[in-house]
Amino acid sequence: MINKENLHATDYSEQEQLRAVLKNQKPIVFWFTGFSGSGKSTIAKAAESKLQSQGYHTFVLDGDNVRMGLNKGLGFDQEGRRENLRRVAEVAKLMTEAGLVVLATFVSPMIEQRNMVKEIVGASRFREIFINTPLEECESRDVKGLYKKARAGEIPNFTGIGSEYQAPSNPEIEIKTKDQTVEESVDELIEKLIPLISNG
């Protein structure tokens, strides 16, 4: 067992500031939350492309990709889900310390989970983005066929079916996708993101 008394954090604060200056941007974590199928990943990836075309240094942390790699050993019970998000938050924090703008797309259904992420990342570098798409709309899309499996009992505790989703009461950014195209959603998002990351 590792003795925590033998561990000492290294102070990289000066290097963090220099990296941000070199990249000419404000490092920040944009945390996308919403039902499965709401469009979180699609919007985040499209937004990343637009940001990169304008010279910003970004990275998309996607829920499925993390589950298939870093966190593939974790379960989908409450404990496993919380640990999944805790690890992601630590990774996102490291990325901001490297000077990056992070777009993290995770259902993260519980307010407590998102508050935990905010605490780990740091309130000044965390912005919650609510991709507000009604459950019935997400289920009608069912891009991955997950809702069909959940309704058939093949996926227990699926968010919105067997498990609750606690919507943000006061998100920094809210994108309502039901009555607009992906392009319109991305344009609206970019307009709100640029002032938050620009040093100009």
124 part of the active site: no
Share of residues in the chain with pLDDT > 70 (%): 92
For residues 121 and 117, give the distance between their C-alpha atoms in angstroms, rounded to a whole number: 6
Instruction: Determine whether the annotation assigns residue 169 to a binding site.
Output: no
118 is in an annotated binding site: no
More confident site: 21 or 105: 105
Question: In the structure encoding, which two tokens stand for residue 99, read together?
Answer: 């000077």
Structural domains of the chain, ranges and CATH numbers in brackets: 23-197 (3.40.50.300)
Which one of 53, 108, 140, 185 is the catalytic residue? 108
CB 99 within 8 A of CB 16: yes
Residue range 118-148, pLDDT digits in tens: 999 999 999 999 999 999 999 999 888 999 9
**pLDDT tens per residue across span 58-83:** 999 998 899 999 899 898 888 999 99
Residue type, 47: A
50 labelled binding-site residue:
no
pTM: 0.91
